[in-house]
Structure 1
Amino acid sequence: MAQTIPSSRSCKSFKNRSMSIVLAKILLALIFLLSISKGSDGQFEDYCIADEQASEYDLLGAMNWACSNGANCTAIQESQPCYLPNTPKDHASYAFNSYYQNMKHQGGGCYFTATAVLTGADPSHDSCKFEYIP
């Protein structure tokens, strides 16, 4: 029985296809890495905000805990820059992030009984600026 030996042309075609796939994967990885928000010092920024799926009741309880345990909640008081919009989700997001930024280097997390999530997108708006501590 005769064995078929691939021609040099089919080997080159296979190598070119393999190289194209590898280059495409590298390009996709680079695009992904560039799309992630980075701080000016090269560190990836992370903010802790309220989970869209959390109930208002749970958000209020977790926000009160955060404000009593390391968050600076002054900015969400009436007539302060982060008071509006006056919703549990917006106020909890500010409180969660304040706690997280102030406490993350001492082991504080962004969980708040499953009412918070991390994001790379800066949630600041209008005159309300969310703190980021590298």
Structure 2
Amino acid sequence: MAQKQKSMSLASFSLFLLVRSLNLGETIAAEILQTWCVAKPSSSDSLLRDNIDFACDHVQDECNPIKLGNSNPCYNPNTPIHHASFAMNAYYQKKERHQWNCNFENSGLISITNPSYAGCIYKGGATLMDLSSAGKWCVATPSANNEMLQESIDYACSHVDCSIIKFGGSCYDPSNLISHASVAMNLYYQANGKLDSSCDFKGTGLIVTSDPSYANCKFEFRK
């Protein structure tokens, strides 16, 4: 019942925005979408572990799926970025999906693609998004294995210039597959009209509305 009331209130707010935008002579492309929170691929392991500790302190039992145990479907892959993403998303959902609840010292990204895989389910929830101002980028999903990530790099870089992830390039560091794959996949996604299918990469891509850029590494963005 509460969920139904929440959906009705989001729909009413969406209608309010539409009417207000018409009255003001503005166009606001607001849409209700499912959103999730995932860790930025360039995040350090130490920051990711801090995020796990912080999120799990607040959501407690909701972090059980990433603990060691055969009955816990989200333990594997046993990587900081996957465990952090799951915990960060649990926190983001519990706090009702405000943008700032997925910040985590600028290490979180809001995804409009479901990061769930196999038996590991990331909870999602409805969020009102202003698509007229929101950007879109493509990054690798936290659960992708190294073989899948390398395959995505090879495919993307056979179609676009990936020199920025090569040694000496602005996105070479951190030199790991998930960071390099995310840069390459986004280059391909932007070059191919930002179609949803251009960020699929056999199910290893996520479309995010938060800018994944960091330090001197600027993720390409085309309007």
TM-score by length of 1: 0.68
In structure 1, the partner of 2:180 is 91
Q: What stretches of structure 1 move > 3 A for 4+ residues in a row?
A: 26-33, 105-108
Encode CA deviations 1:46-79: one digit per residue, 9 max, x unaligned.
100001011011110111011002x221100101
Give 1:23-62 correspondences, 5 Å limit.
Answer: 25=9, 32-33=127-128, 36=129, 42-62=132-152
| CA distance 1:105–1:77, change in 2 (3 Å) | same
Q: Secondary structure at the match of 1:49?
A: strand
Partners of 2:167 and 2:148 lie apart in 1 by 21
Amino acid at match of 1:65: Y
Task: Specify which of 102, 119, 122 is matched with residue 211 of structure 2.
Answer: 122
In structure 2, the partner of 1:72 is 161
In structure 1, the partner of 2:25 is none
Superposed CA RMSD in Å reads: 2.8
Partners of 1:128 and 1:115 lie apart in 2 by 21
CA contact (8 A) 1:37 1:45 kept: no
Instruction: Give the length in aligned residue pairs.
Output: 107
TM-score by length of 2: 0.42
Partners of 2:206 and 2:195 lie apart in 1 by 19
Partners of 1:63 and 1:37 lie apart in 2 by 31
Encode CA deviations 1:58-114: one digit per residue, 9 max, x unaligned.
110111011002x22110010111000000000000000000001126886100111
Partners of 2:216 and 2:202 lie apart in 1 by 29
Partners of 2:180 and 2:152 lie apart in 1 by 11
| CA distance 1:106–1:115, change in 2 (3 Å) | closer
CA contact (8 A) 2:189 2:195 kept: no
| CA distance 1:37–1:94, change in 2 (3 Å) | farther
Q: Greater relative contact order: 1 or 2 (C-alpha under 8 angstroms, separation 6 or more)?
A: 1
Partners of 1:106 and 1:121 lie apart in 2 by 17
CA contact (8 A) 1:110 1:116 kept: yes
CA contact (8 A) 1:37 1:120 kept: no
Partners of 2:214 and 2:13 lie apart in 1 by 31
Structure (1 or 2) with the greater strand fraction: 2
Query: Is 1:109 the counterpart of 2:198 in the alignment?
Result: yes
Q: Secondary structure at the match of 2:199?
A: coil
